[in-house]
Structures are given as structure tokens and as C-alpha cells.
Amino acid sequence: MVRYLITPLAPLKGGILLSWRHVIAMTINCLLFFSNEISGQQYDLLIKNGHVIDPKNHINGKKDVAIAGGKIMRVDNDIPTAQSKKTIEANGLYVVPGLIDIHTHVFVGSKPGKFADGINSVSPDDFTFKSGVTTVVDAGTSGWRNFDLFKGQVIDRSQTRVLAFLNIAGSGMSGKPTEEDTSDMISDSAVVVLNKHKDIIVGIKIGHYEGSDWTPFNRALEAASKSNSPLFVECHLPQFSLEDQLRKMRRGDILTHSYEQVAERMPVVDEQGKVRPFVLAAQKKGVLFDVGHGGAGFWFSQAVPAFKQGLVPNSFGSDLHRFSMNAGMKSVLNIMSKYMAMGMSIEDVITRGSWNAAKSIQREDLGNLGEGSVADITVLSFQKGKFGFIDAAGKKLEGSSKLEAELTIRAGKIVWDLNGIAAEPWTQ
């Protein structure tokens, strides 16, 4: 605090003196801080008695989580309620990092039949918080030509943190013939836009190309290499063999729709139920496998044998869009519950839904509950009963447990509260 009081009077790096208005504002902030200190309420919010799972910090047990100024201030055994302005009782609930969905299509606009600036995309806030998601990554719905429109129209206006893979196709998912135009796939232009928005654009995407020329794939790979970021491969590349795609992919590149069984891409599991050796070799090399459930991207006929043979997804991308949200996919939590029904532990599904997803997009500031991190937090109920989970083929897998988002906190602010656990009782 001492440093805080002194710095307003000192010149800043560029030699600019702070105005008195700034000095007064900072002094008021300090006084507020001290008054909170005197009252003992240094935290804005305290989540008590929840079972915290924070894979990055190796925490898996009953802890309290204290938040102030939109950040996580303390995770400890017994933080007194008197130290917080507000306390939420989370006994019997899981307290985990805000979930990260690395495959969505959220460049919503008014164009009929389009994903880019169109009605096939969806508005992130409409779906995220109710399923415990605080960060989404748009999977190349925009390209270097229309990223600014996407940013102004959606990213800057959403409460959800919206990040993006930039499509190598200049206008993103604008449909044919634009999406097939190789002359518009310019890696240097993509890199320029990525570097300008390094805080938002996390990588390059290739997908939805029907030609047999490898130019789009190579250009995308070139842009990803030049920007030291991952390549996100969304298939829909019917002329390219899966083996060749995986051979070209580098450690840290991401394949999505990993467990699809469709004509346009060879499935990862062969007709005898075995994961193809070149797929396992790619996994060993460090290629990451994302679910990318969507409307056609997740089949139990692939996912179950793959899971049993160790081809486990690194992340639970939903491929959220207008046509997937009400079918088998439903939400990231539904995908996580599917994996619990297949035998994955809750610790493991939380790891892949948060910390692993953050690492895969090189955003290690996210997906964890470390002290000083942004307070993106999800409080989950673990429900027991008889549940059914549906895949892209319309087939059902039964399970005995399901996760539901009780409370979602984005940068310290409560943005979803299913049963009012943070609300005061109504009195007449």
C-alpha cells in the first residue's frame, strides 16, 4: 500500500505526470481499502466449505475461496466469514475453475444460412454461464478480413471471455465460394491480425475446404508456426487423409471432432474396434485431441473404444452452434457427464474442462484458482440418479451421475445462480 500511495506523485515511464483527478481517485481507492481493512471485510466474496478441485495447484479437497477486486485472493482451510462482505455456503458442491470451451461458433449476426456474421452462430452469453463456462474460443468463424467486425459485434459486447482461432480463409466461415478461395488464404495477413490481437487470438484454424490442394493446410500451418501458436484442425477436409493431416501437425496442434464417424473423414477407430496406430503415434508426438461434439462430431462407437484404449480427449470443445445446441451435445457439462458415464473420474473431467484447455491455447493465466488469478469460478452440483446421454448418432449411454452448474462467477461477479445460493431470502 505504501508504494501505491507514493507512485501517483512520481512521473510515469513516459515522463507524464498524473493529473490531480487521478491522484484523488487513487487516494479514494486507498481510503476505501483502509476502511474495509478496519471493518475486517477485505474480501468481496467468500465461497465456504466447497470441495475445491484446482488441478494446476494440485488442490483437491475442502477449502474456502476468497475473492476481491475480481481476483482470487486466498484459497485456504478456514477463512472467517467476518472477513468478507458476502459469503456463499458451498458445502456438498464442487468449486472449480471457470470452464473453458475451446470449440464454439459465436460470430453471430443477421446473415441467413451463414456462420460468419450469421444466424448459424450463437450469442455466447446465452449459453455459457448456465453450463459453467466462463471462456469460449471461437473456432475460426472469422478470418483476417472480418475479425474486426467479430470483435466489435460480439467479443467486446459479451460478458463471457471470447477468444478466437483465426481462420486461414480470409473471411472465415462465410460459405462457398469464399471459403474455398486459396488466393485469400494469406498467412502473413493472418499473422498481422493475430499479432495485433494477441490477447484474444490464440491460434489458427483450418477446416471446411473441399479441394485436394494442400495449400490451405500448409498456409494455416505456416501462420501458426510464424506466430508460435497452435493449429486447430476442424476436419471437413474430405480430400485430405487423416494420416497425412496428423503427420503434418506439430506438438501442441489440436484435432477436433476427434471421435466422429462420418464419410468425410476416416474415423480414429478402425472396423475391428482398434485405434489406428498412426493416431496413437500422433498422440505420442503431442498432438492434442479435442471432443468437438457438435451435431455430428461425437459418436460413442468411436469415443468408447478410444477411451478404453487410451485415446482420451485433452479438452471438451462443444462445437456450439445453432444446429448442435439442442441435439445430443447440449452443453460442455453434458459432455463431461458423458465421460463420467464412460468411466472418467470427476477430477479428470475437471482437469480437461479447465486447466488442460487453458494450456492448449497457451493461456495459463486461465483455468486455475491460483491466488492472483482472475476470479472465473464454477460451482457444480454432482447429481446422482439415472441419466441418459445422447451422441451424434442419436444413440444413448446410461449413467448414474451428472454435473450441473449451480453458480458461475466471471471476474468476481455472479453471472449465474441456479437455485439462489448467493441470494438473500425473500421476506414480506
The CA distance from 287 to 249, in Å, is: 7
- The residue range among 3-11, 68-76, 175-183, 312-320 that interacts with Zn ion, by the rule CB under 5 A, is 312-320
In the complex, the smallest distance separating the C-beta of residue 318 from Zn ion, rounded to whole angstroms, is 9
235 binding Zn ion? (CB under 5 A): no
Site residues (CB under 5 A) for Zn ion, limited to 328-367:
none
Which are the contacts of 25, defined by CB distance < 8 A and separation ≥ 6? Answer: none
In the complex, the smallest distance separating the C-beta of residue 139 from Zn ion, rounded to whole angstroms, is 5
260 binding Zn ion? (CB under 5 A): no
In the complex, the smallest distance separating the C-beta of residue 190 from Zn ion, rounded to whole angstroms, is 18
404 binding Zn ion? (CB under 5 A): no
Q: Within the chain, what is the greatest distance between any pair of CA atoms? A: 75
Instruction: Please identify, using beta-carbon distances, which residue of 70 and 295 lies nearer to Zn ion.
Output: 295
In the complex, the smallest distance separating the C-beta of residue 138 from Zn ion, rounded to whole angstroms, is 9
CB count in 10 Å sphere of residue 394: 8
In the complex, the smallest distance separating the C-beta of residue 235 from Zn ion, rounded to whole angstroms, is 9
In the complex, the smallest distance separating the C-beta of residue 136 from Zn ion, rounded to whole angstroms, is 12
Burial status of residue 90 (CB atoms within 10 A of its CB: 0-12, 13-18, 19 or more): buried
Which are the contacts of 54, defined by CB distance < 8 A and separation ≥ 6? Answer: 60, 75, 96, 97, 355, 368, 369, 370
- The residue range among 33-41, 57-65, 134-142, 367-375 that interacts with Zn ion, by the rule CB under 5 A, is 134-142
Residue in the shown chain whose Cβ atom is closest to Zn ion: 319
In the complex, the smallest distance separating the C-beta of residue 100 from Zn ion, rounded to whole angstroms, is 16
In the complex, the smallest distance separating the C-beta of residue 234 from Zn ion, rounded to whole angstroms, is 5
Instruction: Please identify, using beta-carbon distances, which residue of 139 and 223 lies nearer to Zn ion.
Output: 139
290 binding Zn ion? (CB under 5 A): no
- The residue range among 109-117, 138-146, 153-161, 309-317 that interacts with Zn ion, by the rule CB under 5 A, is 138-146
Q: How many residues in the shown chain lie near Zn ion by CB under 5 A?
A: 2
101 binding Zn ion? (CB under 5 A): no
Question: By the 8 A CB rule, do 166 and 193 touch?
Answer: yes
319 binding Zn ion? (CB under 5 A): yes
179 binding Zn ion? (CB under 5 A): no
Handedness of CA 231, 237, 242, 244 (dihedral sign): negative
Instruction: Please identify, using beta-carbon distances, which residue of 232 and 300 lies nearer to Zn ion.
Output: 232
100 binding Zn ion? (CB under 5 A): no
Burial status of residue 398 (CB atoms within 10 A of its CB: 0-12, 13-18, 19 or more): exposed
Out of 108, 137, 139, 392, the residue judged to bind Zn ion by CB under 5 A: 139
Instruction: Please identify, using beta-carbon distances, which residue of 93 and 242 lies nearer to Zn ion.
Output: 242
Q: Which three cell numbers stand for residue 189?
A: 495477413
- The residue range among 182-190, 192-200, 222-230, 314-322 that interacts with Zn ion, by the rule CB under 5 A, is 314-322
Instruction: Please identify, using beta-carbon distances, which residue of 139 and 358 lies nearer to Zn ion.
Output: 139
Task: Name the site residues for Zn ion (rule: CB under 5 A).
Answer: 139, 319
